[in-house]
Structure 1
Amino acid sequence: MTQQINSQIFAFSKQLADSAFKAQSLALQGLEKVTELQLAALEKHAQVTSDFISEVMETRDADGLRTLWEKGANLGRQNAERAVAVTQEIFAVTQKTAESLGALVQEQHQAANDAVAAPVAAVKKAAAAVVTK
């Protein structure tokens, strides 16, 4: 009896550890993708801003400043559009990660149900066999 309980506890612990490892792996993959997206956006933003600042430093007359004013407005709009696009991508990655974690939870829930149902079915079958004899 003790051996059977120990083996069930060991199996449950192993299943729990495997599930935790899979969940951690999924979460880290999602975090890695989000970080890559944010770093790429930051790099692009820094590059565009440094180019604009270089143009500002080279401007010497009023016409150049008017041109820079328009470029600055366009730069602000483009940066906002990039930020929205990156945010949408991050949201998609986060949603995909959450769906994967949800599927993992459902899988573990089904495995737990099966683990409980199998011994009960075996006992019912054994009881039915004893009653019919």
Structure 2
Amino acid sequence: MTQQLNTQVFAYAKQLADSAFKAQSVALKGLERVAELQIKALEKQAEAASDFISDAFETRDIDGLRALWEKATAASRENAERAVAVTQEIIAVTQKTAESLTALAQEQQQAANDAVVAPVKKAAAAAK
């Protein structure tokens, strides 16, 4: 009886560890994708800022200043649009990661239920 209990406990512990490893893997992939999106957005923003600064250094007269003002408003709008797009992508990645983690939790719960029900059915069949 003790051997059977030990076997069940070890099987459940192994299953729990496997599920935890899978959950960690899913979470890390999600974090990796979010970091990748943020780094790309930061690179684009840095490029836009350096272009604007180089244009600002080249401005010599009032017409150049007006053109620089228009470029600044356009760059500001583009940066805001880019930030919104990146935020939407991050939300999508986060949602997908949460769905994957929920599916893993449901699989773990179902496997635990099956692990408990199978020995009970086997014992009930043996008792008849």
TM-score category (smaller protein): over 0.9
1:5-57 deviations in Å (ceiling 9; x for gaps): 11111111111110110000000000000000000000000001100100000
Higher relative contact order by CA 8 Å / sep ≥ 6: 1 or 2?
2
Query: What secondary structure does 1:60 align onto?
Result: coil
- Partners of 2:121 and 2:17 lie apart in 1 by 27
- Partners of 1:104 and 1:84 lie apart in 2 by 30
Greater shift in the superposed pair: 52-61 or 119-128 = 119-128
Greater shift in the superposed pair: 25-34 or 116-125 = 116-125
- Partners of 1:17 and 1:119 lie apart in 2 by 21
Q: Which has the larger radius of gyration?
A: 1
- Partners of 2:79 and 2:110 lie apart in 1 by 46
Other-structure match for 2:92: 92
After superposition, where does 1:1-133 map in structure 2 within 5 Å? 1-128=1-128
- Partners of 1:90 and 1:102 lie apart in 2 by 18
- Partners of 1:48 and 1:126 lie apart in 2 by 75
Q: Partner letter of residue 23 of structure 1?
A: A
- Partners of 2:31 and 2:71 lie apart in 1 by 34
Q: Partner letter of residue 125 of structure 1?
A: A
| Unpaired runs of at least 5, structure 1 | 129-133
**RMSD, matched Cα:** 0.7
Q: CA deviation at 1:127?
A: 2.4
- Partners of 1:120 and 1:3 lie apart in 2 by 16
State TM-score, norm by structure 1: 0.94
| Unpaired runs of at least 5, structure 2 | none
- Partners of 1:8 and 1:118 lie apart in 2 by 11
